Amino acid sequence: MDRLIIFGAGGMGRETAWLTERINKISPTWELLGFMDDDDSIRGKSFNGYPVIGKTQDILRYKDAYFVVAIGASKVREKIVSNMKALCPDIKFAVLIDPDVEMSELVSVGEGSIICAGSVLTVNITVGEHVIIDPCCTVGHDSVIGDLVMLYPGAHVSGAVTVGRCSELGVGSQIIQCKTIGENTIIGAGAVVISDIPPNCTAVGCPAKPIKFHE
């Protein structure tokens, strides 16, 4: 089995540990060494049976291991991934897909991405690097999910949708077909996107409209 370390010991990290256990029940694949986290207050503690074994600077001690960054906030995840690559250019990132995911062979998934139980991805879909797709999401045909995107539970993306880098789709949000969501944009929980949404904004409501812009 390959060795695996989850960066982030919070809720998403613990869910990812469970996902890893589910993979191993089907086919022993990963030796989960534990968590890394830059929160010094949890150093040496254990969560759900897995120890916190270090923080970013300690990745050099585990050059043979694979990593995933299990932190929901896309901009935070982007910063951590960037720091890890700067420290160790040869770092290896795992792809973790729950055995319960329904996904055709015509879906490409980039390194470091996590796809959780109950999600369905149909055909001719591109999922970028370090994407997190939470439980019970759907992604339709010909959609492109950019690097570092986060789909929170129950987000639904119709066919031929493009979601820009570092964007987040809130719980229960819905994106109709052929729409584009710009990079660094947050779609609020329960929002319904029926027109293109620009980059660098937060959009809420039904129909979803930008309520503020940010860098």
For 95-125, write each residue's pLDDT tens digit: 999 999 999 999 999 999 999 999 999 999 9
The separation between CA 155 and the C-alpha centre of its own chain, rounded to angstroms, equals 13
Task: Yes or no: say if 206 and 192 are a contact pair by the CB < 8 Å rule.
Answer: yes
**pLDDT score for 11:** 98
Task: Yes or no: say if 148 and 74 are a contact pair by the CB < 8 Å rule.
Answer: yes
Q: Is the model's pLDDT at 215 over the cut of 90? A: no
Q: Is the pTM for the entire model greater than 0.85?
A: yes
CA angle at residue 95 from 109 to 27, to 5 degrees?
A: 120
**List of domains in the chain:** 2-94 (3.40.50.20), 97-206 (2.160.10.10)
Rounded CA-CA distance 73/132 in Å is 10
Phi/psi of residue 34, each to 5°?
145, -160
Secondary structure element (H or E) that encloses residue 137, with its range? none
